Amino acid sequence: MTTDVVVGVDSSTQSCTVELRALDSGALVSTARVSHPATTPPVSEQDPEAWWDAMVRAVREAVSGHDVHVVALSVGAQCHGLVASDASGVVLRPAKLWNDTTSAAQAQALLDARGLSWWTHQMGIAPSAALTIAKLAWLRDNEPDVFARVQHLAVPHDWLTFRLTGAHVTDRSDASGTGYYSAPTNRWRSDVLGDLVAAREWESTLPRVLGPDEAAGRLTSTAATALGIGNDVLVAAGGGDQHLAAQGIGLIEGDIAYSLGTSGVVFATSSQPVLDPSGAIDGVANVTGGYLPLVCTLNCTKVTDTMGRLLGVDHAALGELALAAPLDPDRPVLAAYLDGERSPRLPDARGMLAGLTTATTREQLALAAFEGVALGLVRGERQLTAHGVPTGGRTIAVGGGARARAYRQIIADLTGRSVVTVDAPEGTARGAAIQAAAVARGQTVAEVTAEWSPQVTSSIDPSHDRTDVWERYLHLTAVQEPAPHH
C-alpha cells in the first residue's frame, strides 16, 4: 500500500540529509545523505548549484524502492550564507558561508556606524563576520561589479525554496540571522541595507517573509521532474538549521540544547524576544512564531577532530583518552578559538593551550580539547540564563558530537544537570519534516512538534566537580562570569 510521506531536508555545510517520514505518524521511512564540497575557512564558499544537485540526489535516493506518495517538503539549511542573484534569478558568484570570516572588517564598520546598543535593541543581533549583511558589505568593497548586479538577496534555504517553487520567500527564523531583519518588530529594515549604498532601492531585493505555518507554494514541474516526485507537493516555509532542529528534538520552553557540530550552538526557546546589550546572544526568531535565543561558537567538533589528528587517534579513541584523564586541578586548559571565534567576537583569534608541563599526558591533551569546547558553550548557557531565559528543564545534546560520551559527561559535570539525547539523530531534517507535515495536515508546527516528540535515548548524570577548570578557563580567556541583566 502506498504511504503518504513528507520530506525533511537539511542542507548543511557538509552535506544534504533527507528524511522521509509517514504523514500520519511521523515514523521514519528512509533517509539519504549526499556530501557538499569541502570548505576551508577563513574563506568558505560553495556554489549553490552543488546544494541543489545534492538535494536532488538525496531525495531520489530516499524515495527509491519505497512505495510512497510525497505530499509536502520543507528545507532547513545553514544560516547566514549570502546567495546573490540577478534579476532573472541567476546566481552571480559562489555563496559566502556562515563560517567565512573575511568580512570581519565590514562587520566592525557596521557595528561602529550605529553602535552595539542600537543593533541589539533594534535588530536583536549584532553584526559579525558570520552575518549576511557583513558578507554583502564585503561584496560591495571587493567585487563592486557583481554587487551592482544584485537584484535578489537570499540565504541558502531561501534559494533552495526558490528552486523548488519559483517563489522568492523566506521565514522569520532565517531572516532574523541576516542582520537586516528586525526580530523584535518582525520586519525587514531596508534602512540598514541603505547603510551599504543609500542610493539603492532595496525592498525589491528582499524575499517575502512567510508565517510559521504558511506554505511557500507547490513544486514546479521542473523541480518535480528533477526530484522524481509529483508536482502536487506542497513546500513549507522552511527555516534555519538550528531553528528547525529545535522542533526536531521536541524542544519546549525551559529546555536547553547543546548542538555539537562544526560550530557549537547553545539555544533555548522563548515566547518573548531576548535583547542582549553585549551582543553575545543572538535574539533570533524561531519557526513557531516565538524566539530562539542562542549563542554560537565557530569551533566545536573540529577542535576535537584536530586534536585527534595531532594525537593520531580517531574521535572514539580521543573520547576514551579524555575520560581516562585524571582531573588534576592544574591540568591543561584550552581556549578553543582555532579558526577565529564568533562568541566572543574574536574573528582573528587562534587557540591557546595553557598549563603544559613535562608531565602532560596524551589523556590530558584529549581532555583539554573536549573541555575547551564545552566550556565555551557552558559560558553561552550562563549568558542565556543571566538574561532571564528559562533553562531549568531538560539539557539535550544533539549533533554529531553528541555521540561522544566525553562531550555529554563534561557538559553534565559543568552544568550540574543530567544530559540526555533523543531519538532525533538528524534534528534539522526531522524538524523540517514536522513543518512539512504541519502544512500538509493544516496544523501548526507546534502541534505536530508535540505529537512527534522523540523518545529519550540516553541520559548521563554529573559525576565530577569541574569548578577548578571553569575558573582557569575564565582567567585564560580574560572574560568574566556573565552577570544577571536587569
Q: What's the chain look like in SS3?
A: CCEEEEEEEEECCCEEEEEEEECCCCCEEEEEEEECCCCECCECEECHHHHHHHHHHHHHHHHCCCCEEEEEEEEEECCCCEEEECCCCCECCCEECCCCCCCHHHHHHHHHHHCHHHHHHHCCCCCCCCCHHHHHHHHHHHCHHHHHHCCEEECHHHHHHHHHHCCCEEEHHHHCCCCCEECCCCEECHHHHCCCCCCCCCHHHCCEEECCCCEEEECCHHHHHHHCCCCCCEEECCEEHHHHHHHHCCCCECEEEEEECCCEEEECCECCCCCCCCCCCEEEECCCCCEEEEEEECCCHHHHHHHHHHHCCCHHHHHHHHHHCCCCCCCCEEECCECEECCCCECCCCCEEECCCCCCCHHHHHHHHHHHHHHHHHHHHHHHHHCCCCCCCCEEEECHHHHCHHHHHHHHHHHCCCEEEECCCCHHHHHHHHHHHHHHHCCCHHHHHHHCCCCEEEEECCCCCCHHHHHHHHHHCCCCCCCCCC
Residue 328 annotated as catalytic = no
Q: Cα(first)–Cα(last) distance of the chain, in Å?
A: 59
Pairing label, strands 234-236, 456-460 = unpaired
Out of 100, 174, 241, 255, pick the active-site residue: 241
Residue with cell 599526558: 361
Write out the catalytic residue numbers.
Answer: 241
